[in-house]
Amino acid sequence: MSSERRNNRPRTLSVTGLALALGLGFGLAGCADPGAANGSGVSTATAASSQHSAVALPETALGEQAGWVISAVNGEVDGDALTTGITSRFAQPVLDQLGADGLTEVFSQLGAQGPWVPTAVQEGGTQAVVTITSPGGDSLDLQIALDTDEKIAGLLFTPSAGDRTPATSWGELEDAVEGFASDTRLVVTEVEPAGAAQPAGTPLLAAGHDAAEAMPSGSMFKLYVLGAVADAVTAGTLAWDQPLTVTDDVKSLPSGELQNSPSGSTVTVREAAEKMISISDNTATDLLISAVGPEAVQRQFSVMGQNDPAINVPLLTTRALFQLGWGTGESEAAGRAAWADADSAGRQAILNTLPTGLVDVAVQDVATPVWQSGLDWFTTADDLTAAHLALQQKALDPAAAPVRDILAINSGLGETFGDDWSYVAFKGGSSIGVLAGSWYLERADGRTFTVSIQGESADPAALADQATFFGQVQDAVALLEKE
């Protein structure tokens, strides 16, 4: 957001040991569902921040660790107990970066504005955003991520979305997006609903980055995986209740849950699809790619209307992205060096050299953007509109009808969508230096829209303020309610 439209308030220090969007960063503010109580592993609690009412933190490892951080910031943990708590609760990469003294300084600076109370919680998988509010009414989003040992691997404090000044016109929204430090694009399009004779869209806003140029989209590529699954079910070669087996060769890294499942355990196709879309489970995604075949997903880029489907051929699995992006093995390092200049055949040869078994990538190494080398999945704004329309069209077939429910499990922005909206489909995604989200929206009066936002930067810090980034979508939705 441009500086003249921000509240003038001090920015806080941040600690980033592990990218908060690890696992193709399924962005907390944009991808955890603030309002779902659907068994998807995402939960929320919200309070009236104007009254500074405290909410209970979830009774999970995330909630316990976030509670300890808030206590430390408020000076309720000090001396030897603070030092011991820091060294026992934080992952080694964070300690290596700042150490106990550095973290103590962060807590001390924030504590001067306290005491802080939690007034909202968004939790999903191994990540959470806790909005904390001071007696003076200032609010911060405490973004926290845990590693597989449930230690704090990422911690970031940013001004909360409530501190933004919302855009009141499309012009103001365009100015805000164009003022971002990251290269960001926001496109809003009115479309005809699925089944209409003319699905072409009418653009209402195309702000920021060239709408016709492909940008990295992180986990939004999973829309195409869902499309391949839907077609396989419709064709009778796959069934929603068919079991899929988790193996070491298909396990990826977070986000998600299935990477922690014992090898040999099973999950149904529908359960995997729900996890893939609602909590961006990477292992669920790669299970589904294995079930339909990567070529079937590749075909979906064309089937679902992508302007340049060859840009994503051959298909990267999520584990392949981790291996090529940040793996340290000989084949992984060689593949990373060669990927950018390789043609599709050369890239497939690189994929064929990647090791099987559990992914051997250290979380502290997942810190450098790799999208500039072509290691991501790339889409334009029109591609995302076409993908959503294609999925809604597929869902008209009774065999593929669950697609519509799967896409609606996580709305991405929770209570942003009130009674004006009868249906919301969402998929978000991110990687290091990449943050994105796309929505298909049906308004109660029958009008239908798509909204997409994509950001890219060589500096991951430029996309750290997820609340402000996705706040532009909240503004767009508010404007659409008046359109």
pLDDT digits (tens, 9 = 90+) for 41-98: 223 333 333 345 788 998 889 999 999 999 999 999 989 999 999 999 998 877 877 7
Residue 52 pLDDT: 58
Selection from 72, 57, 55, 65 nearest residue 119 by Cα = 55
Q: Tokens 């430029």 map to which residue?
A: 462
Selection from 305, 463, 296 nearest residue 384 by Cα = 305
Residue 37 pLDDT: 25
SS3 content of the chain, % helix, strand, coil (to 5): 45, 20, 35
- Mean of pLDDT values over 186-190: 96
| Residue 184: inside a domain | no
| Residue 169: inside a domain | no
CA–CA distances in Å: residue 22 to residues 243, 266, 430: 28, 25, 8
In the predicted model, is pLDDT for residue 216 greater than 60? yes
| Residue 57: inside a domain | yes
Residue 465 pLDDT: 77
| Residue 248: inside a domain | no
Render 11-37 in DSSP notation, one character per residue. Answer: PPP-B-SS-TTHHHH--HHHHS-TT--
Where residue 98 sits, what CATH number does that domain have? 3.10.450.280
| Residue 50: inside a domain | yes
- Mean of pLDDT values over 221-245: 98
| Residue 272: inside a domain | no
CB atoms near residue 464 (< 10 Å): 23
> Do the Cβ atoms of 404 and 390 come closer than 8 Å?
no
Q: How confident is the model at residue 220 (pLDDT cuts 50, 70, 90)?
A: very high
Residue 460 pLDDT: 87
Per-residue model confidence as pLDDT tens digits over 403-452: 999 999 999 887 789 999 999 999 999 899 999 999 999 999 999 999 99
Please report the sign of the dihedral spanned by the C-alpha atoms of residue 114, residue 118, residue 119, residue 125.
Answer: positive
In the predicted model, is pLDDT for residue 335 greater than 70? yes
**pTM score of the predicted model:** 0.79
In the predicted model, is pLDDT for residue 155 greater than 90? no
In the predicted model, is pLDDT for residue 245 greater than 60? yes
Helix (H) or strand (E) holding 403: helix 402-407
Residue 364 pLDDT: 67
| Residue 348: inside a domain | no
Query: What is the maximum alpha-carbon separation in the chain?
Result: 70
Where in the sequence is the domain holding 104, given as residue range(s)?
A: 3-163
| Residue 347: inside a domain | no
- Mean of pLDDT values over 24-32: 33
Number of folded domains that form the chain: 1
